[in-house]
Every structure is written in C-alpha cells, then in structure tokens.
Amino acid sequence: MAFEVKWTSQAIDDLSFISDFISKDSPYFAQVQIEKLFQRTIILGTHPKAGRIVPEAIQENLRELTEGSYRIIYHIYSAIELISLLFTIAAVYWVIIFK
C-alpha cells in the first residue's frame, strides 16, 4: 500500500532555514543536504514503519530515520500519519501522510 507524503509549510520553512545556514559556507553542500533529507523520507511512502522507535519516547508510533547529523522524527496515526522531522539542533519539520 502506498502513502502520499506531503510536507507542510512549516517543514519547507525549516528546510529553507537549514539551506540558508549551510549556504553561508557552501551553496553546493546546502543543496546536497536538502536533497538527502528529501530522498531519505521517500521510503515512508511505502514503508511508514521503516524507522526505529524513538528511544527516549518509547511509543510505538513515534519513529525516526537518520540522515547524517539529522534525525527525522515522525508520528504514525491510523487514518492520517503526521510526520515531523527534527534536525539535531532543534529545527522541526512537519510532513503529513495520507492513505
């Protein structure tokens, strides 16, 4: 079963912040990092439980994927799955997945 992954405006704003921050040193590497984050979440469209359970939360539906120094934290709900991606320095992303 395939899921549609949609990023909220907050997620896009946070990715923009990260891109702007990295771009101060290297516009090229900013683009590479943002693309890696997007690519890492593609698996969630077909495998929403691909990530491990977040150890500090100990909730079955709170999971994480990692990409470099980024933790992609997401929640899984029954009808609508809300996903939040967390940069290790506390930038937060929101992604909504619809069945």
Mean pLDDT of 81-86: 52
Query: Are 72 and 51 a contacting pair, CB within 8 Å?
Result: yes
Per-residue confidence (pLDDT) for residue 24, from 0 to 100: 96
Residue 41 has pLDDT above 80, yes or no: yes
Average pLDDT of the residues in 53-80: 78
The full set of domain ranges for the chain reads 4-98
3-state helix, strand, coil in the chain (%, to 5): 35, 35, 30
- CATH superfamily, region 4-98: RelE-like (3.30.2310.20)
Instruction: Give the confidence band of 22 by pLDDT, cuts at 50, 70, 90.
Output: very high
Task: Report pLDDT for 33.
Answer: 94
Look at residue 17 in the predicted model and tell me its pLDDT: 83
